[in-house]
């Protein structure tokens, strides 16, 4: 019975995602899942758009560090990043300063100043990157959807260790108390309940990323539907974009029906 309910739900989910906006949605390749194209000003300044590899940054830094401490908006384009901002040490320039990570220009003893713009402004270009997603993925625990990496298990196994604090950028904070996981009732008959890992989300995101902008602080005070999630609200703010997609029903609906 549970398998039947999951099959029906999955079929409805695929149909909803594929035709909700009148056109079929093409799922990205594993290497592209989570990538963000930043093009607020690039094309108008005759530059190639920036392709931000979310997988690479996710393997090194917590969500909270980038989206709270550094100040990146959760939606593409909302941060309104300029080259001047980066050069002043803001946003991407917080780390891309030739100290933590490569900067836009590097001084080489052999070749003088080397322009590294195409390492970010790479859309439509044939750029050879230092970090290979294919090689990285070989060392990671696998899952079926998204970019094929089980990030939670990877951290539990010590394969990734996320930086959550940058001196001079992050504000000092006490270690967060362990957050208890909890169940969310499914509204579809016979669908298993959702087990929400509050502990894992709090560890990666902190409280500020989710509350109160995406979710109210009080549990159950704002009902929401799967259709809203499909359209990028609530859980959909991250899932389908960066975190594993909503098509992987059994990653959330895991509590058995008795």
The secondary structure of 18-47 as a DSSP string is HHTTSSPPPPPPTTTTT-EEE-SSTGGGT-
Q: Are 1-30+174-258 and 32-150 in the same CATH fold?
A: yes
**Which CATH architecture does the domain made up of 32-150 adopt?**
Alpha-Beta Complex (3.90)
Which residue matches tokens 């704002």?
Answer: 222
Q: Are 42 and 49 in contact (CB under 8 A)?
A: yes
Closest CA to 227 of 242, 246, 214: 246
Options 3.30.420.10, 3.90.660.10, 3.20.20.70, 3.90.10.10; CATH of 1-30+174-258 = 3.90.10.10
pLDDT range class, residue 150, cuts 50, 70, 90: very high
pLDDT of residue 167: 94
pLDDT in tens, 94-148: 999 999 999 988 776 655 677 889 999 999 999 889 899 999 999 999 998 999 9
Taking the model in full, what pTM does it have? 0.81
Closest CA to 128 of 136, 119, 117: 119
Question: What is the C-alpha separation between 27 and 14, in angstroms, rounded?
Answer: 11
pLDDT over 60 (residue 206): yes
pLDDT over 50 (residue 19): no
Task: Kindly report the average pLDDT of the chain as a whole number.
Answer: 86
More confident residue, 176 or 158: 158
pLDDT over 60 (residue 49): yes
């Amino acid at each position: 019975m549970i398998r039947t309910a999951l099959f029906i739900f999955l079929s409805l989910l695929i149909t909803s995602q594929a035709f909700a906006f009148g056109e079929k949605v093409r799922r990205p390749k594993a290497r592209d899942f989570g990538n963000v194209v930043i093009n607020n000003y690039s094309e108008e300044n005759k530059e190639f758009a920036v392709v931000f590899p979310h997988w690479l940054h996710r393997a090194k830094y917590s969500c909270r560090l980038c989206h709270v401490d550094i100040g990146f908006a959760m939606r593409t384009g909302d941060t309104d990043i300029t080259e001047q901002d980066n050069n002043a040490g803001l946003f991407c320039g917080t780390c891309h300063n030739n100290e933590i990570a490569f900067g836009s220009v590097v001084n080489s003893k052999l070749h003088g100043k080397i322009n590294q713009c195409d390492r970010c402004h790479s859309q439509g270009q044939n750029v050879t990157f230092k970090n290979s997603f294919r090689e990285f993925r070989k060392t990671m625990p696998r899952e079926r959807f998204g970019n094929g990496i089980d990030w939670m298990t990877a951290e539990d196994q010590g394969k990734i260790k996320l930086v959550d604090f940058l001196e001079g950028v992050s504000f000092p904070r006490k270690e967060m108390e362990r957050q208890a996981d909890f169940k969310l009732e499914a509204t579809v008959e016979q669908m298993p309940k959702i087990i929400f890992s509050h502990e894992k989300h709090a560890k990666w995101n902190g409280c500020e990323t989710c509350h109160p902008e995406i979710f109210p602080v009080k549990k159950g005070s704002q009902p929401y539907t799967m259709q809203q999630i499909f359209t990028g609200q609530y859980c959909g703010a991250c899932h389908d974009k960066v975190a594993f997609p909503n098509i992987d029903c059994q990653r959330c609906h895991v509590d058995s029906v008795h």
